[in-house]
């Protein structure tokens, strides 16, 4: 229950944030190289610890909006691989309220959060996020 309250607090804080359009659609060369290395560590080398260490470097550096969104998604995948479902959801929650993303993308991220909670055995939180996903998707229509 404590994790759910904490995650709900983050979600509410994110919903209150001002939306700024993200017009960037690529990585800088330095950040792109580190991201690719982290992604390779996770997907090809099956080394989530190395991927997490590399993504830590990115997450704590100056990122443009596109990079920040991509790194959050990568870190969520890493945390799922490590069995850290709460951390995975926390990486995705800010994307649900990021108005620079389309309703379809925000709905997808809410759906992913719901699936993460269901995988962790939290049916109540999972159902809440899956409903939110449908609500967001209907906004885009």
Tell me the percentage of the chain whose pLDDT exceeds 90.
79
- With a cut of 60, say whether residue 131 has pLDDT above it: yes
Asked whether residue 23 carries a pLDDT value surpassing 90, the answer given is no
Closest CA to 141 of 96, 102, 97: 102
pLDDT at 83 over 90: yes
Structure letter (DSSP) for residue 18:
P
User: For the ranges 2-11, 29-38, 54-63, 81-90, which has the lowest average pLDDT?
Assistant: 2-11
Determine the pLDDT at residue 9: 39
Looking up tokens 């993504």, which residue turns up?
Answer: 55
Q: How far apart are CA 33 and CA 37, in angstroms?
A: 6
16 secondary structure, DSSP code: T
- For 64-97, letters b (16+ CB in 10 Å) and e give bbbbbbbbbebbbbbbbbeebbbbbbbbbbbbbb
Give pLDDT tens digits for 4-21: 444 443 444 444 444 567
Reported pTM: 0.82
Share of the chain above pLDDT 70, in %: 84
Q: Give the Cα separation of 113 and 91 in Å (integer).
A: 9
Q: If you search the block for the tokens 């969104």, which residue do you land on?
A: 69
Cα-Cα-Cα-Cα dihedral sign, residues 85, 88, 94, 96: negative
Segment 71-85 shows an average pLDDT of 97
């Amino acid at each position: 229950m404590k994790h759910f309250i904490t995650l709900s607090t983050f979600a509410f804080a994110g919903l209150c944030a001002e939306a700024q359009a993200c017009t960037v659609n690529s990585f800088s060369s330095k950040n792109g190289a580190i991201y690719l290395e982290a992604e390779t560590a996770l997907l090809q080398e099956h080394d989530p610890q190395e991927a997490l260490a590399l993504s830590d470097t990115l997450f704590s550096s100056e990122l443009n909006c596109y990079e920040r969104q991509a790194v959050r998604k990568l870190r969520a995948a890493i945390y799922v691989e490590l069995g850290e479902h709460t951390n995975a959801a926390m990486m995705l929650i800010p994307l649900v309220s990021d108005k620079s993303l389309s309703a379809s993308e925000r709905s997808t991220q809410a759906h992913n959060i719901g699936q993460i909670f269901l995988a962790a055995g939290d049916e109540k939180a999972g159902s809440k996020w899956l409903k939110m996903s449908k609500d967001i998707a209907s906004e885009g229509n």
